[in-house]
Amino acid sequence: MTSPSPKGIVEARAAQAHPMIALPSHDELVEQLFIRDLKQFVMAELEPAQQRIAEKLEAAIQPQASNDPVGALRGQMEQVGSFGTWLSLKRESQRQLWYAVTDCVERQAAELQALGQIDNPKGSLTIDPDFQAPDYITMGDIHLMPGGNAYDDGTLLQGAVMDRGGAVYMLGRNGGMLNDLRGQTAMAHLLTIAPDIKPDRILDMGCGIGTSTVPAALCFPDAEVHGVDVGGSMLRYAHARAEHLGAAVHFSRQSAERTSFPDASFDVVYSCAMLHETSPAAMVNILAESRRLLRPGGVAIHLEVPLLHTFGDLWQELSAELEAQFNNEPNWRGALSVDYAQMMRAAGFGDVRAGYQATAFNARLAAKKFGDTSDGVFRSWFVTSGRV
């Protein structure tokens, strides 16, 4: 059997989504699909069983009689044998995901690096070699991805791991191999609240590998689109990925808390599922930076996972605590319990909205459905927005 030609490999990659995504061998794909199914089993079968156990134990806990009712519930759950098994499987399935994807990426590292060399790019890439990522990013490997989001070895391979791993991590429900539903949904929200908008300049904060950035460039092809992130490898990959998808994006390594862009230099500033990976103080700074960067009439949009909760449901609070601890989500509890409308107003925004935007596969064609009720995870996303 002859090996596929370089052209054949590129075509095979493009058939999945775009040429930059790592192409698994038969055995690698089987392993990745097994991990995907294991994660689905842990989430859809084992976790609800733990919730039912917790709800029975909750009945015996009087919140007013304890300074730490969540801790009390956790203490009782830790006496249940299946609780520890569930947590172990939850964490180990996540770790195995990254190992499987990393093997796949490293096997074809040379090919991916070559594809990352872009001739006559439409966009640009600026990497500050002296940039220091915030502590909340470097103190732990977010999502348990070895090396974390800010890892930079001078290659684009960490970004390749993030891309392939993200598709498996999201169980294919975030736009398949494009992983772009959040960006599409953010643009759908923009068109919902400002259907006639024609932005000249757009900024994606915490853009990662550009899965949320490219939708803006394709939705508004006449706009100048920028993306900032703390990860050098992520940005190298984002740049190559965007170019192969035909999107002109200008990527730079910066913190969303304070960028180098001038005051009032953008018409739209947005982020997608970034705030829960920062810190409470950083959230305030990021909203303030969004406000600083917007021109009069500009729009800020911050999209998050649709799992917001209020304190009082002990299982929800315990689940948030466990997600933060066992999946290294530094601001999970803070970002999922804060009053976003109040924070946006405090940052100086008017016409503030906070609610749920229906998931969009194509921002231009999607139904413009926004309201107070979530349709569920992956069917809608929490969005807060405001105008200057």
Q: What is the pLDDT of residues 205-242, one digit of tens each?
A: 999 999 999 999 999 999 999 999 999 999 999 999 99
Q: Give the pLDDT score at 308.
A: 76
Rounded Cα distance between 297 and 193, Å, is 12
Q: Give the pLDDT score at 9.
A: 46
Beta carbons within 10 angstroms of residue 109's beta carbon? 14
Average per-residue pLDDT in the chain? Answer: 91
Residue 335 φ then ψ, to 5°: -70, -25
At 311, the pLDDT band (50, 70, 90 cuts) reads: low
Rounded Cα distance between 229 and 208, Å, is 6
Rounded Cα distance between 190 and 167, Å, is 25
Radius of gyration (C-alpha) of the chain in whole angstroms: 21
Q: Is the CB of residue 248 less than 8 Å from the CB of residue 123?
A: yes
What percent of the chain clears pLDDT 70, i.e. is strictly above it? 93
Give the number of C-alpha atoms closer than 13 A to the C-alpha of residue 387, restricted to the C-beta side. 8
Q: Is the pLDDT of residue 15 over 60?
A: no
Q: Is the pLDDT of residue 291 over 60?
A: yes
Q: Give the pLDDT score at 123.
A: 98
Rounded Cα distance between 269 and 297, Å, is 12
Partners of residue 167 on adjacent β-strands: none
Q: What is the pLDDT of residues 128-146, one digit of tens each?
A: 989 999 999 999 999 999 9
Q: What is the pLDDT of residues 337-348, one digit of tens each?
A: 899 999 999 999
Q: Is the CB of residue 260 less than 8 Å from the CB of residue 191?
A: no
Q: What is the pLDDT of residues 312-345, one digit of tens each?
A: 688 888 988 898 889 999 898 889 889 999 999 9
Sort residue 263 into left (φ over 0), alpha (ψ -120 to 50) or beta: beta
Q: Give the pLDDT score at 172.
A: 66
Q: What is the pLDDT of residues 65-88, one digit of tens each?
A: 567 888 999 999 999 999 999 999
Where is pLDDT greater, at 68 or 173?
A: 68
